[in-house]
């Protein structure tokens, strides 16, 4: 059977997985894509495939209906986030689908901690000044010990972030309505969002996106934070009202931000964020290590093969 792959990290190592699929009698077809295919592109292409490994593409009802009208039999959402996938449409259309959770909590946590350190010590600003301006800057940094982190999301990634930041003697206030307790981590306190945001030196987002938390960091919440707060997002861009964050950065109320994700990806060329040297940006790449990609991709393939074999 033919399987369309639209997940960029998996596509970057596709030659590793083609022989594995062939052993099961399946053909992997890599899409030519930087971030996502459009809905129209998917409607045109998907009917020609039996399976689909989904990235962050718009996996809408319209797309699944087009696939079902053709050859599509099953799909797997590569990775953790599922906000782009209409699971109810799959249920209505009798298309088996699942994601691959708990695959790279450690990898994404490493990136989150890298942003925290980079912002606190202005490492990326210093690097850019040396490289592009031929300067030798020595800005005063922030010590991490004793600083408080508002950690939004306490699942696999969030707990991994907490473990790492606790090792720096930081204080953690975790927010997650779906989980109780401190996961056995001494030093983690719990609160309901947005309580205690005024105490946070950093706000670190690791939660999934859903209809209830879109723009959970907005102008009203930002106004409650202390001046100089720093924001890190390794989860999903729409968790943050980007226009409100930009305004807070321009005013100086938010000192800096480390963003691996954005409301629109790739980040538009005319985004005001690009002119803010105090910020650090990523390309929605937090999970992308060779080890993690192999782990998640084999998991996705095995789940998809199981679906396809069960339908033959």
Catalytic residue among 159, 236, 242, 263: 236
135-187 pLDDT tens trace = 999 999 999 999 999 999 999 999 999 999 999 999 999 999 999 999 999 99
Catalytic residue among 190, 214, 265, 295: 265
Would the pLDDT of 310 be above 90? no
Residue 13: what are its φ and ψ, rounded to 5°? -125, 25
Split at pLDDT 50, 70, 90, the class of 312 is: low
Structure-block tokens of residue 53:
């490994």
Give the residue carrying structure tokens 């990775």: 79
* Residue ranges, CATH 3.40.50.720, the chain: 2-101+289-311, 105-281
Would the pLDDT of 237 be above 80? yes
Would the pLDDT of 87 be above 90? yes
**DSSP 8-state class, residue 268:** P
Catalytic residue among 26, 45, 159, 284: 284
Report the pLDDT averaged over residues 103-117.
97
Longest dimension (CA), the chain: 65
Spatial neighbors of 176 by CB under 8 A, at least 6 apart, are: 152, 153, 154, 155, 158, 207
**What does the mean pLDDT of the chain come to?**
97
Residue 191: what are its φ and ψ, rounded to 5°? -155, 165
Split at pLDDT 50, 70, 90, the class of 7 is: very high
Whole-prediction pTM? 0.93
27-66 pLDDT tens trace = 999 999 989 999 999 999 999 999 999 999 999 999 999 9
Q: What is the CATH number of domain 105-281?
A: 3.40.50.720
Burial of 80 (0-12, 13-18, 19+ CB in 10 A): buried
How far does Cα 8 stand from its chain's mean position? 13
Q: What is the CATH number of domain 2-101+289-311?
A: 3.40.50.720
Structure-block tokens of residue 83:
């906000």
Whether 263 is a known active-site residue: answer no
Whether 164 is a known active-site residue: answer no
- Is 175 within 8 Å of 197 (Cβ atoms)? no
Cis ω on the peptide bond leading into residue 224 (within 30° of 0)?
A: no
Whether 265 is a known active-site residue: answer yes
């Amino acid at each position: 059977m033919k399987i369309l792959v639209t997940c960029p990290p998996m596509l970057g190592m596709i030659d590793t997985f083609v022989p594995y699929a062939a052993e099961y009698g399946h053909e992997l077809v890599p899409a030519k894509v930087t971030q996502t295919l459009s809905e129209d592109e998917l409607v045109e292409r998907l009917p020609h495939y039996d399976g689909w490994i989904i990235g962050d593409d718009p996996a809408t009802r319209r797309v699944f209906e087009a696939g079902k009208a053709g050859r599509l039999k099953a799909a797997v959402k590569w990775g953790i986030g599922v906000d782009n996938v209409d699971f109810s449409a799959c249920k209505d259309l009798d298309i088996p689908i699942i994601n691959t959770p708990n695959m790279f909590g450690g990898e994404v946590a490493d990136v989150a901690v890298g942003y925290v350190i980079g912002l606190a010590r202005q490492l990326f600003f210093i690097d850019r000044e040396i490289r592009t301006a031929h300067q030798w800057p020595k800005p005063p940094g922030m010590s991490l010990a004793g600083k408080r982190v508002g950690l939004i999301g306490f699942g696999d990634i969030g707990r991994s972030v907490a473990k790492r930041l606790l090792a720096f003697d930081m204080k953690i206030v975790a927010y997650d309505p779906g989980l109780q307790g401190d996961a056995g981590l001494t030093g983690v306190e719990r609160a309901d969002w947005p309580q205690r945001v005024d105490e946070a030196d950093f706000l670190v987002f690791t939660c999934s996106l859903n209809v209830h938390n879109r723009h959970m960091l907005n102008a009203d919440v930002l106004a409650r934070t202390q001046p100089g707060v720093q924001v890190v997002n390794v989860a999903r861009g729409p968790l943050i009202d980007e226009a409100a964050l930009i305004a807070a950065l321009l005013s100086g109320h938010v000192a800096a931000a480390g963003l691996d994700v954005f409301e629109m990806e790739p980040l538009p060329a005319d985004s005001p964020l690009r002119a803010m040297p105090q910020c650090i940006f990523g390309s929605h790449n937090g999970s992308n290590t060779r080890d993690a990609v192999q782990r998640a991709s084999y998991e996705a393939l095995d789940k998809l093969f199981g679906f396809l074999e069960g339908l033959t």
